[in-house]
Structure formats: C-alpha cells, structure tokens
Amino acid sequence: MRYGYFDEEKKEYVITRPDTPAPWVNYLGSPEYGAIVSNNAGGYSFAKSGANGRILRYIFNQFDQPGRYIYLRDNDTKDYWSASWQPVGKDLSEYKSECHHGTAYTKMMADYSGIHSEVRYYVPLGQSYEVWNLKVTNCSDRKREISVTGYAEFTNNSNYEQDQVNLQYSQYITRTVFCGDRVRQMIHANLDGLKDGEEVDNKNVFNRFFGLAGEKVSSWCGDREKFLGRYHGYNNPSGVEAGVLCNEGNYNENSCGALSTVITLEPGESREMAFLAGMKEDNEAAEIIAHYADCEKTCAVELEELISYWHGQLAHFQIRTPSPEFDTMINTWNAYNCFMTFIWSRAASFTYCGLRNGYGYRDTVQDIQGVIHLAPQMALDKIRFMLSAQVDNGGGLPLVKFTHNPGHEDTPDDASYVQETGHPAYRADDALWLFPTVYKYISETGNFAFIDEVIPFANKDEGTVYEHLKRAIDFSMNHLGRHGMPAGLYADWNDCLRLGKDGESTFVALQFYYAMTILKEFAKYKKDEKYIKYLEEKQEQLGKLIQELCWNEDRFIRGFTERGEVIGKRTDPEANMWLNPQSWAVISGLATERQADLALQMVYERLNTEYGAILMDPPYHANAFDGALAVIYNAGTKENAGIFSQSQGWLILAEALCGHGERAFNYFLENAPAAQNDRAEIRQLEPYCYGQFTEGKASPNFGRSHVHWLTGTASTVMVGCVEGILGMRPDFYGLRIAPSIPKEWEKFEISKDFRGCHLHITVKNPGHVEAGCKKLYVNGEELPGNYIPQEKLTGETEIEFYMS
C-alpha cells in the first residue's frame, strides 16, 4: 500500500493519505533552532539542545501529539477542523489533504467544506524561531466567516525530562501574558528583580512567545487546561468549540500559546497570515512579528532562500540512472538524510528524546562520510572536532560531550568521565573509523595541508592529523587480545558484543588491517619510510593471524570471547553466520578472491531476505555467551538477527568492490526506503528516510522498520552506492571510476563537483556487463585504464566511460 509519491522536480515527498502507519516526519531548522514536524503536524522544537532547550512539547511514544496545530472553524455552522488532518481527524471521505515534506520545510494542504488551507512550516535560514505560514481560501460560492486558531504547547521547563516528570517543580515556574499580537511565556518571572548578570541557583527569567502576524488577534489563551477544557482533547478543544478563547493566561500548571483571529472570505478570496514561535526576549519577539507584517511577501522570499540553499547543497552530486528509486535516494533523500544525521547526530527525532548528552564517537565519524562528496568544508570542521576528541593514547572518547573542551577532557580512564557519561571503558573500533573518513575527505578535496594541521587531543597534548592517525594505530597495538588480534574491549561496532580486553573482534581486526593500508598512503605522501616499513610488517603479521584464526571454511568468524571460545563458527548452534566480518573482509582488502566469493555467497544464501541481509543467524536465545548482549532483544530484532540497515551499506560496497553489480544493487533495493513506497504498511517507517533496523525473519513483524532518520545507515549506504555502485573512487591524486551496476543498465550519468571542477560523467554499457572498463575519454582524450589523474581535470570536464 502506498501513502504518497516522490516529486523529483521539487525534491518533495508528497503524502496523499494522512493516515500513515506511523508519523512521517521532516526536519526544520539548524542547531540554533531545531524543529521536527510530522505529516499530522505533531512534533517539537528546541534551541540548541533537544534535551535542555525544549520549547514546544511533544509526548514521545504517544500517538504523535501535541503539535503545531491550526484549527479552522466555520462560525455559521460551528463545524471545525484542522489544517493538518489530525488532531481533529475529520472523516477522510470529506476531508482531503496533502502533506509535502521538502528540504527543511513542510507544506500541508487541506480541503474541507469548501475551504482550502495551505500551511507552510519552516525555520528561516539563519534564524532561531519558527514560522507557520497559513493561507486560507474560500472555494465555496458563499461568504464565509472562519475563526482561525493557532495552538503551540510550550514546555514549562526547557529540560525535556524535568518538564515531563518533575511536575512539583516545573509547573510552578511558568506564566503567560498577552501582549497584543502574541502570548508571552515567562519562566521564573518572579526573578524579574534581578540585575543584569545576576542569577539565583543558576536561573534567571527567560521568555518564549507565540505570535500572529498578518491578521489581528481576536481572542487568546495562555493556559493549556483552559484551552483544551477538562475531558476534552486536542481533537475538540473547548476554546475552538466555543469559537472564542478565554483571554486568560496561566499562572502555574501548564502554559500554552493559543491565538484566534476571525476572517471573512468572499467566494474565491484568500487571506494569509503567519504564526511565529520561539524562545526570545519580548522586544525581539515583537520585532520578529513586525517583520512578517507583509507575510505573503516575506514568507515567499524566505522559503525560496531555504529551497535554494538546500537544493544547492544537493546539487554537488546528482545522478540519472535507469532506477527512479536509486535516483531519488542518491539525489535527494539519502543525501538529505545524511545531512540530518550529520547535524542532529542521535539527539532529536521521534525516537531519540535528546537525552544522550553528546556525540557517539563512531556514529559521528561515520556520519561525516555521508556528506564529504556534497559539503567537504562542513565535513572538515567536524573531522577537526572529532580528532580533538581523540585521547592522547589514540582511542576515541566513546561519548563526546556537547560541551567538549579539547585538551581538557576527562577520559574513560577517569572515574569522573565514567560517572558523567555512563561509558565505563574504551570501545575497540571508535578511532579506527577515522581512517576511511579522513582518507575520503583528503581524496575528495586534495587538501593535503590538512595532513600536517595540528589539532589538540581530548585530554592533553596535540599533534598533526598524521600523528593523530598514528596514535589510533598505537591504541589498537596497545590493546591486543590473547591471540594478538585487536581486543574487543567494551564493544566494537556492535554495541551488543562485550568481548573484553582478552577477547578479540574479527571486525575490528579487519578495520585495523584496512587502517594500515590507508595510513601507508599517508606515510608515502610524507615519505616516512621507517613508518611504511613498520606498517608493512605489522599488517603482514595481522593478515596472517586473521587468515589463520578467523577463516572457517566458507566464512569469517565473528571473534573470540575472553575465554578464547570462537564466536560465529559453522558448527555453533546459534549465531554461526555473521554479516559484518564477511563484508569487511572484502572492504579491508584482506579476503582473497576465493574467500570473498565464498563468504559473500554464504551471506546471500544464509542471511539475505527480501528486506535485506540479517546481521547474524540464527538469533541468540539459549546459547548466548556471556558477552552476547543481543540476547536481551526479541529474536529478529536489532542486533539479535535484525536487518541492521547500516550493514547493508557495507554489503553493497563489498559486492560492488568484487564487481558483483547485480547483487550490490539488489541489496540496495531490498532495504531502500523509496523502493518500499508501495509496501508502506509493512515497512511503516517513512519511505524517504532510513531506519536503524528492519525486523528480521525471526520476528512476526518481518519487514517492519524502526528508529527513523538518525542512523549510521544514511552515510554508510550513501558510501556503498556512490563509491560502490556508481564507482566514484577518488584517491589522493585523482579519480578512479569503477561502476558496479545491474547488467540491464545501458547508460547512466553523474554530475559531480570535484576539487573545484565540475565533472559530467556519462557511463555507457552497451554490452550489459556488471563491472569493468573498456574505454575512458576525458574531454575527448582517451586515457589508459579507469583512472583520471587530477591534472586532466578542467573547469568543466566531460568524461565518457565505456564499461563494455
């Protein structure tokens, strides 16, 4: 079943049925002011922090309420409805609506009883407040009087948890007053006698507002209970039913902002207005509202600015292939998803409440990879930040606090860090993600100066980027398990694998092997012969160890427990086949061709399903070893044999590196949101963003996906598709092109910005092969092989690539 479609030209997903199987949301704003809005207007907003800067309230896990509600009431008939289908929820045979989620804006259209409404929600570029721009049109043939009421539910406390659970405190610090065109909410208003800079218990008065521009306020309410009325809900607020609000604020209990205006519309006439909300001093709020006096013009300009900013970001890499699902994901939705994970990390969604007070090291370093080809400067700033969160012993801080202060941080070796973050120890993989990320950044940009840039370590000391990477190698070398492979420590990529300081992780060993290959490139650039030799020796030893210890006939095992037991061998009753060691054996370059073929074939046979490959099989139930935390999850769920979507990205890449274009693309399609647009009732998650996992075949809900938007899947699948399927493989000195595609693709095109040049690449495949290069022309000149040295690139470069 489908609930909407992709509008390629406008880069919008258009929801044509509002009764979606889950809230389907969009992100608005920036870290200064973030907002999430669902297709039924549910959602919340916050300044700077989802946990500590919460402005508009949302109740998690509770039917998508409250939200940015606009109620419309026909004052003759007294019938009322909302500009989004919910909360009033009129009968869908009479109420028609569309929700257009675009790049950082959401537009909702509704038609009911001859009235057409269109509301556009957005946060203006560079601003820290939100706009709900409403246009109401009378499509009937009689004059209509309509009461329009906007409703914003303020939190009483900016801290999300305090607002929800500490009611004996949070309900007694809040009050609202009316200021002509706005409801002003004051928190700690009793402290208004404090002088500038003075505080009591770190607290001072601060303000939020909900205002109306473009029309006159006819009645208002600042008290949630008075607006809703006892035993009423968001679907039938007393204030809306009555057609006039109570004109009272709150003093204690719960604030809200509700503003009504009454408009009369001749047949065919339209009126436009804007509701505005934010956390601002009252004089600033007044100025903001005044700015929207001509809201029609102001909002149109602002929306145009937003669209050109975001479409401009996406324009750096665009493709045209025979697959509409692939194109929409790579050109718009996966790319936009990558920006959202890059910006919001795991801090704000309908699943993440924002309470994790920092960036996960691996997550963030992985997220960066998804935007390197689109916004390398943005990527660079975050790479610097993450390098500054590397401890001087080379390990990554498992959680990098939002208040991160390079050079002065505690580490997992300090009790204070453990107490504050809840992370008791280093994880084996964190710093190893730096290798592909930093390498991709330099290869994309040719910014070699970055290798010598000096960046502080998290706790003390500083070093060049090259030195940081060397220390990451040292960290793994200094944390080896009983066989001499990297220890599993508190976790590897899989948070549910506690292998400890004596246990060993094949995944980390493969990452480490790959890290050495990458660092050799840096060492060659630095002409650091001694270090090249060191890496060669160590890599050879490690390679031998992995081959001797981890290859098990037709698969790589997952690792060793603290006691030396093998995890993931063929004969294990549970979890005898794991996905990640197979894909990473290929990505790392360690697997021989035979091993790669066998291991990937086993993945296909044992793990693949119609929704992607499961993480391992069979699920843990009765035979989990001590560190196999996955057993706490229901079988077929998350790390316990769920289809972990991020791992699909590595699988796509591995198949593509082997030249298996058919399979690579098949894995893409199986788990691609856009490819499941017709099966929305099964997937349930938005068909335009990735989720963390899909329930595996061991679950009765096989195919249902979860944890929308903020997942490493976005960046990893993007890399799998761009580097793998499309074969864009920059290195330090140029661009290698090595597509791996379905045989039936006859041709595809890529438009790519690269090192100050614009590349227009046409790949032709008349012989219908999956991979390979027959001929390569750059600006008409034939080059040998599939490699374009940087010096061949011109401002506008025409590239013709013949696969067959």
Q: Minimum CB separation from ligand IFM for residue 639, in Å?
A: 5
Which of 7, 111, 282, 495 is flagged as catalytic? 495
Cα–Cα dist 579/582, whole Å: 6
Report if residue 342 touches ligand IFM, rule: CB under 6 A.
no
- For the chain, counts of helices (H) and of strands (E): 21, 44
Q: Six-digit token pair at 538?
A: 């160590």
Q: Minimum CB separation from ligand IFM for residue 515, in Å?
A: 17
The per-residue DSSP string of 447-507 comes to: -GGGGG-EEE-SSS-EEEHHHHHHHHHHHHHTSB-TTSSBEEET-SSSTTB--EEEEEEHH
CA nearest neighbour of 108 among 43, 25, 34, 15: 15
Q: Minimum CB separation from ligand IFM for residue 575, in Å?
A: 14
Length of the chain: 804
Positions of E strands within 224-355: 248-249, 255-265, 270-278, 317-320
Report if residue 362 touches ligand IFM, rule: CB under 6 A.
yes
- If the CB atoms of residues 261 and 580 are measured against ligand IFM, the closer one turns out to be 580
467-496 residues in contact with ligand IFM (CB under 6 A) are 493-496
Question: Any idea what the Cα angle at residue 147 is, between residues 145 and 153, rounded to 5°?
Answer: 170
Q: Six-digit token pair at 731?
A: 């290195």
Q: Minimum CB separation from ligand IFM for residue 428, in Å?
A: 12
Report if residue 639 touches ligand IFM, rule: CB under 6 A.
yes
Q: Minimum CB separation from ligand IFM for residue 672, in Å?
A: 20
Cα–Cα dist 470/464, whole Å: 10
Residue 250: alpha-carbon gap to chain centroid: 37
Residue 124: alpha-carbon gap to chain centroid: 21
- If the CB atoms of residues 363 and 655 are measured against ligand IFM, the closer one turns out to be 363
Position 555, amino acid: R
Q: Minimum CB separation from ligand IFM for residue 559, in Å?
A: 14
Task: Return the exposure string of 255-265: e unless at least 16 CB atoms fall within 10 Å of the residue's CB, then b.
Answer: bbbbbbbbbeb
Report if residue 111 touches ligand IFM, rule: CB under 6 A.
no
- If the CB atoms of residues 341 and 539 are measured against ligand IFM, the closer one turns out to be 341
CA nearest neighbour of 265 among 69, 81, 113, 98: 113
What residue is closest to ligand IFM based on CB? 495
In this chain, which stretch among 355-363, 453-461, 562-570, 754-762 interacts with ligand IFM, using CB under 6 A? 355-363
> Which residues have CB under 8 Å from 526's CB, separation 6+?
451, 466
Q: Which of 363, 562, 686, 770 binds ligand IFM (CB under 6 A)?
A: 363
Residue 445, H or E segment? helix 434-445
Cα–Cα dist 732/428, whole Å: 28
Residue 440, H or E segment? helix 434-445
- If the CB atoms of residues 495 and 731 are measured against ligand IFM, the closer one turns out to be 495
Q: Minimum CB separation from ligand IFM for residue 693, in Å?
A: 8
Using the Cα atoms of residue 251, residue 254, residue 255 and residue 259 in order, give the sign of their dihedral.
negative
Cα–Cα dist 64/233, whole Å: 13
- If the CB atoms of residues 43 and 360 are measured against ligand IFM, the closer one turns out to be 360
- If the CB atoms of residues 341 and 676 are measured against ligand IFM, the closer one turns out to be 341
Q: Which of 67, 360, 636, 734 binds ligand IFM (CB under 6 A)?
A: 360
Give yes or no: 223 in active site.
no
The 494-523 site mask, x for binding ligand IFM (CB under 6 A), equals xxx---------------------------
- If the CB atoms of residues 99 and 509 are measured against ligand IFM, the closer one turns out to be 509
Q: Are 54 and 155 in contact (CB under 8 A)?
A: yes
In this chain, which stretch among 66-74, 232-240, 359-367, 714-722 interacts with ligand IFM, using CB under 6 A? 359-367
Q: Minimum CB separation from ligand IFM for residue 145, in Å?
A: 53
Cα–Cα dist 38/65, whole Å: 10
Q: Binding-site residue total for ligand IFM (CB under 6 A)? A: 8
Q: Six-digit token pair at 610?
A: 């119609």
- If the CB atoms of residues 123 and 641 are measured against ligand IFM, the closer one turns out to be 641
Report if residue 648 touches ligand IFM, rule: CB under 6 A.
no
- If the CB atoms of residues 421 and 494 are measured against ligand IFM, the closer one turns out to be 494
In this chain, which stretch among 305-313, 360-368, 393-401, 433-441 interacts with ligand IFM, using CB under 6 A? 360-368
- If the CB atoms of residues 174 and 341 are measured against ligand IFM, the closer one turns out to be 341
Task: Return the exposure string of 584-593: e unless at least 16 CB atoms fall within 10 Å of the residue's CB, then b.
Answer: bbbbbebbee
Q: Minimum CB separation from ligand IFM for residue 387, in Å?
A: 19
In this chain, which stretch among 278-286, 356-364, 663-671, 759-767 interacts with ligand IFM, using CB under 6 A? 356-364
- If the CB atoms of residues 75 and 634 are measured against ligand IFM, the closer one turns out to be 634
Using the Cα atoms of residue 354, residue 357, residue 360 and residue 364 in order, give the sign of their dihedral.
positive
Q: Are 233 and 67 in contact (CB under 8 A)?
A: no
Query: Among all chains, which residue has been given the structure tokens 């003075």?
Result: 198
Position 430, amino acid: D
Q: Minimum CB separation from ligand IFM for residue 456, in Å?
A: 24
Q: Minimum CB separation from ligand IFM for residue 393, in Å?
A: 21
Q: Write out the residues near ligand IFM by the rule CB under 6 A.
A: 360, 362-363, 493-496, 639
Which of the residues are catalytic?
495
